[in-house]
Structure 1
Amino acid sequence: MAGVDEAGRGPWAGPVVAAAVVLDPDCYPEGLNDSKQLTAERRAALRLLLQDCAEIGVGMASVEEIDRLNIHWATMLAMERAVAALPKPCNHVLVDGNRLPRWSHTATAIVGGDALSLSIAAASIIAKTVRDAIMEELCPQHPGFAWRSNKGYGTPEHAAGLRAQGPTLHHRQSFAPVRGWQTLEPRRFRKSAG
């Protein structure tokens, strides 16, 4: 059985990333939890442990696909790609959320699944750490947006970067704050990406 979760539905920039994880019931790391409940250091440590003892598939949908399909269907596409990237087929898929991709796999959607299923929690950790690493790699190429700290989410620093520089090719043009960057007014934004 594979658990599937995504990271990056809400940011203004970067891809949406999904992961599929099949845990070995005889060998999985302790402390698996919803990635949002873990520190960055703990997520990184668990990712390394998972890479040694679980089957992992990662799928992404690009900014172009997000803008063309919308974030919901781009997320579904990333999930499909993650399951397809598993080393071998799985019997059943548990998906965090209330919607399933249009696929042939037998699957169950579980609202709050990253807190209820260890395999979904593992997938949330993989998806989050992969996406965070992408945004950290992009940060030096696009200074002024604070992607190392905000991971592309709509923070005051990110908004200031948009107002000062305009969007990059990594920004989601279909998202209202990016579309309206010239009139983006300072207001309450997220303080961090978690």
Structure 2
Amino acid sequence: MGGRVVGVDEAGRGPLAGPVVAAAVWIDRARCPEGLDDSKALCAARREVLHDKLHGVAVIGVGMASVEEIDRLNILWATMLAMERAVAALACGFDHVLVDGNRLPRWHHPATAVVGGDALCVSIAAASIIAKVTRDRLMEALDAEHPGYGWARNKGYGTADHARGLAEHGPTIHHRRSFAPVRAMLPGL
């Protein structure tokens, strides 16, 4: 595969709250920071360092799909929408897109789905870091606005402290109403 290849990955498909975030990254392999890996294989501090380094050496596009879009489209198609937005946000041309996973968005770009791509491809690993850190920072900010759910710690995933927060305070506007644990908390259902 020749030319300029962009990697795409997402963060936040499984949480009960917050948007799904995707990143598209093109990086010159000669300027690639050491230690790039699947974001899940890195500690939070290392992800933060690499995130900041990538912003100095890579071309990055970030896209999100809102909670409303997740509830309307479902999480799969909202993820695809976030990926489309991330690629559209790139400030460079490209020849091919590598997407982590086994599905591709419905777009016109030459693309390949790569299962486990965040551990196999530098540009997808970079995208996984950008998407994860971007979403984590967003959930930490939302935690300050909506204390009681533990989002700074759990990033919106369905942990015990998040479940306690839902039971005590009910869903916020940032909760995904189409997800069963949240839907069960809604009156009239």
Question: Do structure 1's residue 23 and structure 2's residue 27 form an aligned pair?
Answer: yes
Match for 2:169: what amino acid? Q
Question: Do structure 1's residue 89 and structure 2's residue 93 form an aligned pair?
Answer: yes
Runs of at least 5 residues in structure 1 that lack an aligned partner in the other structure: 184-194
Once the two structures are superposed, the pairs formed by residues 4-23 of structure 1 within 5 Å of their partners are 4-23=8-27
Equivalent in 107, 113, 125 of residue 109 of structure 1: 113
Distance 1:26 1:38 in 2: 22
Match of 1:42 in 2: 46
How many Å apart are 1:182 and its aligned residue? Answer: 6.6
Match for 2:107: what amino acid? W
TM-score (norm 2): 0.95
- Aligned residue pairs, count: 183
TM-score (norm 1): 0.93
Distance 2:65 2:82 in 1: 5
* Identity across the alignment (%): 69
Q: Contact (CA 8 Å) 1:163, 1:182: kept in 2 or not? A: no
Deviations 1:48-105 (A, max 9, x none): 1100111000000000000000000000000000000000121100000000000000
> Cα RMSD over matched residues?
1.0
Distance 1:38 1:166 in 2: 33
Q: Contact (CA 8 Å) 2:27, 2:123: kept in 1 or not? A: yes
Distance 2:161 2:94 in 1: 42
Question: Do structure 1's residue 156 and structure 2's residue 163 form an aligned pair?
Answer: no
Q: Contact (CA 8 Å) 2:16, 2:179: kept in 1 or not? A: yes
4+ runs deviating over 3 angstroms: none
